[in-house]
A = this chain, B = another copy of it.
Amino acid sequence: MANIKWVYGFNEVEAAEKQVGGDWEAVRALMGGKGANLAEMTRIGVPVPPGFTITTEACNAFLAAGEQFPEGMWEQELEALKEVEKETGKKFGDAANPLLVSCRSGGKFSMPGMMDTVLNIGLNDETAKGMVKLTGDERFVYDAYRRLVQMFGSVVLDLPGEHFEDVIEKAKKERGVADDTGLTAEDWRAITERFQAIIEKEAGIEFPQDPYEQLKLATEAVFASWNGRRAVDYRNAAGIAHDLGTAVNMVTMIFGNMGETSGTGVAFTRDPAAGEKVLYGDYLINAQGEDVVAGIRNTKPIAELQQDLPQAYAEFADICQKLEKHYLEMQDVEFTIEQGKLWMLQTRTGKRTAQAAIKIAVDMVSEGLISKEDAVLRVEPGQVDALLHPQFDPAAKAAAGRLAKGVNASPGAAVGRLYFDADTAERMAREEGQDVIMIRPETKPDDVHGMLAAKGILTSRGGATSHAAVVARQFGIPAVVGCDQLEIDLEKRAVKAGGTVLKEGDYVSLDGATGEVFGGQIPTVDPSFEEQTDLITLLGWADEISAQEGIRDLPEGSPTRGLQVWANADYPRDARRARTFGARGIGLCRTEHMFFEEERLPIVQRMILAKTDQERQAALDELLPFQRSDFEGLFEAMDGLPVIIRLIDPPLHEFLPSYEDLLVEMTELRLDAERGKALPSETLASKEALLNAVEGMRETNPMMGLRGIRLGIILPGLIEMQVRAIFEAACNQALRGIDVHPEIMIPLTGHVNELNAVQPQLQEVAQAVMKEKGTEVEYKFGTMIEIPRAALTADRVAGVAQFFSYGTNDLTQMTFGYSRDDAEAKFLLEYVEQGILPGNPFQVLDRDGVGKLVAMGVKLGRQARPDLEVGICGEHGGEPSSIEFCYTAGLNYVSCSPFRLPVARLAAAQAAIRRPALVV
């Protein structure tokens, strides 16, 4: 151990690199982020106050040995201090020309809850007097001294901060002044003494006058704070490993408060809000670093430093350029100017808004700083999403009173008046031109017309994949769902949230990105995709990267070698939007959504309630033209690209009134009749017939009931009509010169024999239509893989299906046995909170379980059919981590709602660049 180097001067970064084998990440792990950056700046010639770093390894050794410094460490620390003395020409503990240092912790990752900073180490009663002589500024010196004692007490000895603050408050009161600046040198000296007495009383030790003792205790305190409760809790929550340890940095004190040629500031090398290439920050003349942050005095914009201290400004601007070129990233820096001399105290990658992240990445490519791949990796997919939805003005939102918080189901800001049912919501929006927020305990398919007319959707039940959430995301409508603090009273048309009661017509504001609900109207800003030229540029690069990428382990003959991004779109208008947003195909068109439209629903109900095959066929014949015309629009919008159309999926009772409503109505009618109220006799009979029909269709677990291909087998006329409509539309458009690529998707297959039972029949319909129309179109028949058994037997299924599309919503339901209508509210969110699940598997694909089935299905399927086209059309298709998984599992495309396309295109390209290994 004696031979181990525990301490590195800021000018020894090469030695550290050598120690860890030249890897910069390893240097950061050894010296901590702050220490590594200070050393790195030193290496490239940026002025950094002399200092040194005690490594994270020393911390770990200290903790492992029961809080004992490892052998040789303290000696190395003293040695390093001597080097600093040499460089600065000052001497630690020397009253004549004292060296003061700050002690700062700094691990690999920035971490609240760790011991932070102790300033002015080296001051004691003697050196303080020396400093007074040296600077002639007694007030400055005793202010500095009391800061040391105060920080030592609160930070090193962990005494409550109030002990010290109370003293200052009392002093100010006695002096009759409002703030610290009113206190004199004498006051600070008295306060310093008082602080020392507090330490003696509360911690039972004397404030150490020996500077080396100060140094040692500060070092120990930083090390020990790694295992403090707050730090451990934070690491548990943030998923940071407990064995990293923290480094300790000892940095020569620089004083920005030594007169009008001194100052201090923080700045970004580019505008972190808009991304423009201008210095962005604030500074103060004659002040210390914490004063800038504390907001005690009004800071000046960084540009004005050019007037105040032109030379220092010029040097600072050069250094910023230099740092950007060196780090190839926008930097967030701290600096201090001591009597005209500029010192850099910190540099790190700067945080930025989504818009800035994109602009900076794109600009840096133009500037030749980074590659397109780098640019694509620089932007978090989640940031992009926020850019496409209306957003609240941040200041106005911060000022607004929050009423409740629910599940952040669909991002974006929405402001409007509350309406409690779909019909009213639609009427108010369409006829009165109001901005509407539709509020319901939960939504159902027949609420869709109201939802589509609304600016936002609010429910008190359901989770992130409830009907309300899915529809909202599909159409890019902001939504907060499962907001169980709301007590909705549908009868009274009112909702209670905490103490507040809102009535129908009252304004609310929803933030779908955070799940927050506010009373009243918060101003919003509404972005447009077309105007976001930087984003469009970046996504163009992303697509290039995804398309170039051709070395995934896919069999020869696979339809695409990169991961494409397609869209889920049910209507022509969605398809057009999807194309604008860069979709390479439609991965899912849900044909049943078309059935809910107002003029069609009665026909659908007639079809369902038909008593004879003839009646049923008549209704189907009426539906066909509607479906055909929708498909014609889709094909036109997607000219040249594939369009996957899923045959009807939901159980039929979704198209009928609810059983419970009918039951109540029927009971009322029955009691009326019993009490002799005259009723048209057919009212009771027809209501009873409807009730019986709905009862006959009820299912205990409809999710696992008669729907999808099961319905197609029991009621073949319905899907035959759909296939006829698809091919009539395709042929009509082909004859008009449109390049159509229909792919018919059969939902809910669990056994290959289900496909065997319907697919040949449907293919006959397709052939018949093409013959009638006298033209041929290319087409495929394929299936959703959403039942575990289909994935387990994918080799057999692929013997019949020409393509697979993973319906990971249902696959997640079945694999976990979680009903997505119930689980989130009943236990799933609780599971996530308790850490039983790492996340909500309906949002982020569960790789260990569901992912294993997906990967197994891809492998088995391609064994049977090497050119099998495989995609995903569940909610996960728009979620970055899930997209990465899809890439590794060898899928050909992900399909997501149009608004998620930019996110997905970026995530797909990032996966292509990172090439993670498949681990299931």
Contacts and interface: CB of A to CB of B under 8 A. Distances in A.
B699 A702 contact: no
A816 B710 CA distance: 12
Contacts of A816: 750-751, 787, 789
Contacts of A750: 816-818, 849
Given A817-B814, A822-B705, A754 B836 contact: yes
Interface stretch (A32-40, A163-171, A826-834, A900-908): A826-834
Contacts of A756: 836
Interface string A691-705: 000000001111111
A819 B819 CA distance: 12
Interface residues of A, number: 58
Copies assembled: 2
B827 A699 contact: no
Given A748-B817, A815-B788, A817-B750, A827 B710 contact: yes
A848 interface: yes
Interface in A682-739: 699-706, 710, 713-714
Nearest to A711: B827
B792 A849 contact: yes
Interface stretch (A102-110, A292-300, A539-547, A659-667): A659-667
A813 interface: yes
B831 A713 contact: yes
Given A667-B667, A816-B750, A817-B814, A789 B703 contact: no
Contacts of A748: 817
B823 A704 contact: yes
Interface string A846-864: 1011101100000000000
Nearest to A442: B700
Interface in A775-830: 786-789, 792-793, 796, 810, 813-819, 821-823, 826-827, 830
A754 B817 CA distance: 14
A835 interface: yes
A168 to B, nearest CB: 46
A822 B706 contact: yes
A64 interface: no
Contacts of A706: 822-823, 826-827
A810 B817 contact: yes
B713 A836 contact: yes
A699 B836 contact: no
A618 interface: no
A705 B826 contact: yes
A810 B704 CA distance: 12
B846 A789 contact: yes
A822 B700 contact: yes
A816 B703 CA distance: 12
A702 to B, nearest CB: 7
Given A754-B836, A793-B848, A821 B663 contact: no
A816 B837 CA distance: 24
A227 interface: no
A597 B358 CA distance: 66
A314 interface: no
Given A706-B826, A754-B836, A788 B817 contact: yes
B815 A705 contact: no
B826 A699 contact: yes
22 contacts: A660-B663, A663-B664, A699-B819, A700-B702, A702-B822, A704-B817, A704-B818, A713-B830, A714-B827, A750-B816, A751-B849, A753-B835, A753-B836, A753-B837, A757-B836, A786-B817, A787-B815, A788-B853, A789-B817, A792-B815, A792-B849, A792-B852
Interface of A: 659-660, 663-664, 667-668, 671, 675, 699-706, 710, 713-714, 748, 750-751, 753-754, 756-757, 786-789, 792-793, 796, 810, 813-819, 821-823, 826-827, 830-831, 834-837, 846, 848-850, 852-853
